[in-house]
Chains A and B, each alone.
Chain A
Amino acid sequence: GAVVSQHPSWVICKSGTSVKIECRSLDFQATTMFWYRQFPKQSLMLMATSNEGSKATYEQGVEKDKFLINHASLTLSTLTVTSAHPEDSSFYICSQAGQQGQPQHFGDGTRLSIL
């Protein structure tokens, strides 16, 4: 069964809106979660590493003020796309770092469409 739950699965909203995406770990307390973005026919690109109780670590070129990450509990990380614009339209996917020796498990992703 699913070990990572991501919500919502699809969002369509107007330009300038802020959108929050939730990622929940269902099977254990994940101190580290990752946020990825995938544009059509491209690879999954890591955006940031979400650390419970501390600031997220962002990859080069990702605006931390635009993509706000909160990891306030061991089972929930959120990504907020602030003042979204059409170029932010993409498929956003979270993953949880596995337990020792286990691979990352991914949520089902959120398709974000900004009109």
Chain B
Amino acid sequence: DQQVKQNSPSLSVQEGRISILNCDYTNSMFDYFLWYKKYPAEGPTFLISISSIKDKNEDGRFTVFLNKSAKHLSLHIVPSQPGDSAVYFCAASRNTGTASKLTFGTGTRLQVTL
């Protein structure tokens, strides 16, 4: 039972354009969402998060949008850079406590081309 889904396994975007990565979840108890970036043979690196009390959080080139009614979140990267090429995972937890377990999506491989 995949509670967090990333339906696009890959995405290719031209440098300078916007990258939009999507994530859907099924468990309405999730109330904290995160995006991680992962390079091969490395652990995930935290990018940005959002609490369910918000619908948008922005940090530099990265913006996360949350649509609770649709159980959908997205990560926008603008402008996209070649160094953004990696696998992006969304993750969800049931509360913002520091010891909360994370449920991960299957990841989207982003390729930013020149």
Contacts and interface: CB of A to CB of B under 8 A. Distances in A.
A98 B43 contact: no
Given A43-B104, A44-B89, A32 B99 contact: yes
Tell me the interface secondary structure of chain B in the complex: loop
Interface residues of B, number: 24
A71 B44 CA distance: 22
Kindly state the interface size class of chain A when it binds its partner: 20 to 34
Nearest to B46: A103
Interface in A71-115: 91, 93, 95, 97-109, 111
A104 B100 CA distance: 9
Contacts of B89: 43-44
Interface of A: 4, 6, 9, 31-32, 34, 36, 41-46, 49, 91, 93, 95, 97-109, 111
